[in-house]
Amino acid sequence: MKNNANPSFIKTMLAVVWKDLTAELRSREVFSAMLIFALLVVLIFNFALELEAGTRASVTSGVLWVTFTFAGTIGLNRSMAQEKDRGCMDGLLMAPVDRSAIYLGKMIGNLFFMVAVEVVVIPLFSVLYNVNLLKPGLLLVVLLGSIGYSGIGTLLATMSVQTRTRDMLLPILLFPVVIPLVVAAVKASAGYLQALPMADIQPWLTLLIVYDVIFLSVAWMVFDYVVEE
């Protein structure tokens, strides 16, 4: 039976997070790949979409979430591939600890990398597209979207990393599942950018929160069975 209040559970979770952050500080593989890809996407869209100011503002939220989604997928792939190639995952699974703590630790680590990329991309995006993205409501949407994406993405990356075609399989598994999340995030982001009434934005925020709760709970419950296979 899982006991999240157990101090050993929290220690295990924090140890996994610390391991991921320490390993990344040494190698800089995951963050660098995510950041370079995200910056390239932002620049490509900036030069490809030669639109008027009003039209550009209407597509900003879509371009923003395309950037985060693709960069996040690269981060998930690289993070889990490192665990598999170095044998770290096998060592974690052999340890006498709650495996749900391993999942939460990996999920928090992946979330940290995604948020770190967003911290760099959002100000640059604001300058290039001449749109103010530093709005509290919009930043909340970005955080909620990142939590849901990292939560379900960590689970699916754990599944796909066991296969030979892991780089191709993860997007195939992940993108259909995160469609509701991405749609809600794009709509809510557009609502804040266009200064729509809160009544128009609230349903999309609610969908984001419900998605996060449901899929984080499902991923937490089935992680044991996923790593058994």
Mean pLDDT of successive 10-residue segments in the chain (229 residues)?
62 86 82 90 80 66 91 86 69 74 89 94 88 90 95 89 76 92 94 90 95 92 77
3-state secondary structure 93-122: HHCCCCHHHHHHHHHHHHHHHHHHHHHHHH
Task: Provide the pLDDT for residue 1.
Answer: 43
Which helix (DSSP H) or strand (DSSP E) does residue 50 occupy? none
Query: What pTM did the predictor assign?
Result: 0.88
Task: Provide the pLDDT for residue 117.
Answer: 94
Task: Provide the pLDDT for residue 229.
Answer: 58
* Of 143, 90, 137, 100, the residue nearest 118 (C-alpha): 143
Task: Provide the pLDDT for residue 71.
Answer: 92
Task: Provide the pLDDT for residue 179.
Answer: 94
Alpha carbons 106 and 83: distance in angstroms, whole number: 10
